Structure formats: C-alpha cells, structure tokens
Amino acid sequence: MMTSNIAESLNAALKAARNLPIDILVECLRSLVQKWDWNNSNNANRTLTKVSTTTENELRHGIISKMKYKVFPFNPIKYQVRDEKGTNFTVNIHNKTCTCNRFQEDKMPCGHAVAVIAKRNLGVYDYCAKFYKT
C-alpha cells in the first residue's frame, strides 16, 4: 500500500515483519527500499527512452539510410561516415555534431550519426534531445 506519507507506507509494507527480530526487520526494510528504488529507476528510465511518433519515424529513416553508410573511426569519439555517393561526413558522438549539421540543429541523430551509434552499439534515444521524449 502506498500513501503520501513515507512512514505510513513503510508501516503498511512491514506489517508482517514487525514481530521479527531487529536484524531481520532491518534487512526487510533495506530490501524493501532497494525494491522501491529499482522500480522507480526503471519507470523513470522507461519514460525517458520513449520518443514521439514523428521522432521515431525520423530515426527509423536514419536507421534505414545508415545501412548504405560506411563508418571509419578516427578515435572513440570522432568518426568518418561515407554515404553511397562517396561523400564523407564527420560525426563527433561526444559533442553530438555532424558536418551535415542536422545532428546539432535537429538535436536528434542524423543518418550518419545513427550509423555511428549502431556501429558502437549505443542507444539511439540517448542522443535525442529531451524535448523529443514523451
């Protein structure tokens, strides 16, 4: 049972453990707070990884177009991305920039950045600005 008062919530959750020895009661309390913290963290992260439908469609377009791109790392942060026409772009994954300028202007990975993100097995949503997230 959850109430707005943390003491009431703890009392309700620990009702069965109240008659146990103090060390077991403390362990129950610790595991209860750990479980709440885990659930709250997961809920917060799940909320932050959702993006709007329009953003999702644009990212999917980037993912489809990146399949034609070749990625050459300069270092773990900076990459050269060559498109199907042979044009080169430079993506800085740390600064969230690309020489096509879409990454920094849209605050969302362009196709070149998506290619780098996919190559490094990173989360594409982590590179979207918060205002795209629901």
Q: Which is nearer to Zn ion, 38 or 72 (CB)?
A: 72
Total residues binding Zn ion (CB under 5 A) = 5
Q: How far is the CB of 66 from Zn ion (least distance, A)?
A: 10
Q: How far is the CB of 15 from Zn ion (least distance, A)?
A: 57
Q: Which of residues 94-133 bind Zn ion (CB under 5 A)?
A: 98, 100, 110, 112
Residues 6+ apart with CB under 8 A from 71: 79, 80, 81, 115, 116, 119
Three-state DSSP at 16 gives coil
| DSSP result, 73-112 | ESSSSEEEEE-TTS-EEEEETTTTEETTSHHHHHTS--HH
Q: Which two tokens stand for residue 134?
A: 């629901």
In this structure, the number of other CB atoms found within 10 A of the CB of residue 26 comes to: 12
Q: Which is nearer to Zn ion, 18 or 85 (CB)?
A: 85
Q: Mask of contacts with Zn ion, 35-74, x by CB under 5 A? A: ----------------------------------------
Q: Which is nearer to Zn ion, 51 or 91 (CB)?
A: 91
Q: Using an 8 Å Cβ cutoff, are 25 and 14 in contact? A: yes
Residues forming contacts to Zn ion in the complex (CB under 5 A) are 89, 98, 100, 110, 112
